[in-house]
Chains A and B, each alone.
Chain A
Amino acid sequence: MSVTTSAVQATDIVRAGRRRRRRRWIAVTSVLAAVALIAYALSLMVGQTFYSPAEVWGVLTGQRLPGASFTVGELRLPRATTALLTGLCFGMGGVVFQTMLRNPLASPDVIGISSGASAAAVTGIVVLGLGETPVSFLATGAALMAALLIYLLAYKRGGSGARLILIGIGVAAICNSVVSYVISRAAEWDLQTAMRWITGNLNDASWDKVLPLSAVMVLVVPALLLLARDLELLRVGDETASALGVRVERSRLLLIVTAVCLLAFATAAAGPISFVAFLAGPIAVRILGPVGSPVLPAGLVGAVLVLVSDFVAQYALGTRLPVGVVTGVLGAPYLVYLLIRSSRTGGSSL
């Protein structure tokens, strides 16, 4: 032992380190929350017509203002709320998978879980003619099935992360071809609805889509935030976590179910907004550093990504695009970068 430190000093160092990490986590999370709120507020104010914060506040508090009541209350508010909530869900759901599988490529939109939700939802709308809430549940069921299928195929004989990702990409391809097939058979008036299942779209955001999503979030998000602690412990490996008193199988199952619920309900509300789940986690981890659970920060990054991308998609490019086109443009180069890096190093971590 080259350096001896007295026990008192060591305790101080430990405490100071813990407080420093805690402070950093709180600071980063608060800043991200503030940025998300500002983006939300701006997307209520700015558009073809600008409304002042006072006018927006008036609409939010129930005053009737000519013009603003309709534009802000009926158009922008459900749209921005959908963007905020789906972003939170995609970010949190994505980072759970990426952290649990110790690989940023293991994002639900790469390994077919989001595609499973899409395939079920598009079938529900176009073939079965279901409403929003049944579609959400159908999408959740299918996403869970996709997760289970990937899990069974990949873990049958002690699978590795890379194997799971490759199988997941296969499952994604199957589900995407189901989406394409159903859309190609759809009646023309369904096409607008069905198109949102390809890239994700907020153009037909409405309160009856927000409602099932927010109800599920009220139940699931607190559960996921509690489970985030187990997720942090699982990062040291299954055996070590188990030796530390974590019920590994149970925790992992609960994490998968909660993450899939969020992803599926978000997908049902806005379609599989490309690459948000994939990008949010790594960005949050990069900003946060190794100082605590990335789950909530990743959700906030996801919300900012969707809000900003939707704004760009609506107003910055001259023509109105689906939000997924913009997030796709952001995500695809990162996917290519990760694939190049992982083939070079034989593996990668979040």
Chain B
Amino acid sequence: MTVEHTLAADALTLAYGDRTIVEALSLAVPAGRITTIVGANACGKSTLLKSMARLLSPVAGHVLLDGKSIHRMPTRQVARVLGLLPQSPIAPDGIAVSDLVSRGRHPHQGPLARWTSADDAAIAGALEATGTAHLADRSVDELSGGQRQRVWIAMALAQQTDLLLLDEPTTFLDISHQIDVLDLLTDLNRDRGTTIVMVLHDLNLAARYADHLVAMVDGRILAAGEPASVLTTDVVRAVFGLESRIMPDPLTGRPMVIPLGRHHTITDADAPA
């Protein structure tokens, strides 16, 4: 990657009508790293992601792509640099996998959509990278949830953007497919240097896969940085209103959150401090 594209939010205020969702939020996305955003439902994390992808205009402040306000840039120009996978994209009925993935080439094509061998190679590369090449001619309708999510990621990869934003890419997937998708995104980050920003629900997965963890409460950032420094019992309490213990994951050394409920707890004396 010769050019590292940068993405940042500068004093960003976002609202739906009168309802302010995000207020005066600033965030610099580290280039070439994986950033995950966590927070309770309705804390504004998806809204922030949408605005960073140019889908929602700010009430105040800017989203800066390479230092320029993204909302003043042409859609197609943005789409060559920044890709987004929304929470629930819609697969047209009966569409073939390779046909869906090929839509990722749109920002690179002229008004008459002449296909070049570069387009074919990009689509093939995206199918390969996501392990869906053998599904190329299948109908998306026939695929399992995990396969389908891979196909959507393939479409975003075919777009060949240096920045990729994903809104809860693991929702509705079982645990093995969640790991599968997150490993795939990590491969992408490590092999191609793609900057990834994603909203994740699962705190432990977010901490494991993030280089940079952002915790949001009520439309603002409570803490941001390395997962080990961000994920503390205080932060978990402030973000989710949940008491927890945090210990290093024996496998990865990353922080692991163990929620404290009212039941199923060994006596306090037995629990590690």
- Which A positions have Cβ atoms within 8 angstroms of B? 1-5, 7, 9-11, 13-15, 17-18, 21, 102, 226, 229, 232-233, 235-237, 239-240, 242-247, 289-291, 349-350
Contacts and interface: CB of A to CB of B under 8 A. Distances in A.
Contact of B84 (A9, A13, A243, A290): A243
Contact of B89 (A7, A229, A239): A239
Given A17-B136, A246-B106, A349 B93 contact: yes
B126 to A, nearest CB: 9
A5 B132 CA distance: 10
A96 to B, nearest CB: 15
Contact of A240 (B89, B98, B120): B89
B91 interface: yes
Interface of B: 50, 53-55, 75-76, 78-80, 82-86, 88-96, 98-100, 102-104, 106-107, 111, 113, 115, 117, 120-121, 123-125, 127-128, 131, 133-134, 136-137, 139, 156, 159
16 contacts: A7-B124, A9-B133, A10-B128, A14-B136, A236-B91, A236-B92, A239-B50, A239-B84, A239-B89, A243-B84, A243-B156, A246-B75, A246-B106, A290-B93, A290-B139, A349-B93
A232 B102 CA distance: 12
A236 B78 contact: no
Contacts of B79: 243-245
A244 B106 contact: yes
A243 B103 contact: no
Max chain B C-beta neighbours (<10 A), residue from A9, A18, A247, A349: A18
Given A13-B124, A245-B75, A245-B78, A236 B90 contact: yes
A14 B113 CA distance: 16
Contacts of A11: 117, 120-121, 123-124
Nearest to B84: A243
Contacts of B123: 11, 14
Given A11-B120, A11-B121, A2 B127 contact: no
Given A102-B90, A236-B103, A243-B79, 15 more contacts: A3-B133, A5-B134, A7-B124, A7-B125, A10-B127, A11-B120, A13-B98, A13-B124, A13-B133, A17-B96, A18-B98, A236-B100, A240-B84, A245-B75, A246-B106
Contacts of A349: 93
Nearest to B76: A245
Contacts of B156: 243
Contacts of A235: 90, 92
B84 A10 contact: no
B89 A18 contact: no
Nearest to B80: A245
A348 to B, nearest CB: 10
Contacts of B96: 17, 21, 290
Contacts of A102: 90
B140 to A, nearest CB: 9
A65 B128 CA distance: 67
B127 A237 contact: no
B195 to A, nearest CB: 15
Contacts of A236: 89-92, 100, 103
Contacts of B84: 239-240, 243
Given A17-B136, A289-B94, A242 B54 contact: yes
A2 B132 CA distance: 9
Contact of A237 (B50, B88, B125, B136): B88
B128 A7 contact: yes
Contacts of A247: 75
A226 B90 CA distance: 22
B115 to A, nearest CB: 6
Nearest to A226: B111
A350 B95 CA distance: 12
A349 B111 CA distance: 28
Nearest to A19: B115
A208 B82 CA distance: 52
A127 B10 CA distance: 60
B131 A1 contact: yes
A124 to B, nearest CB: 38
A18 B113 CA distance: 13
B136 A242 contact: no
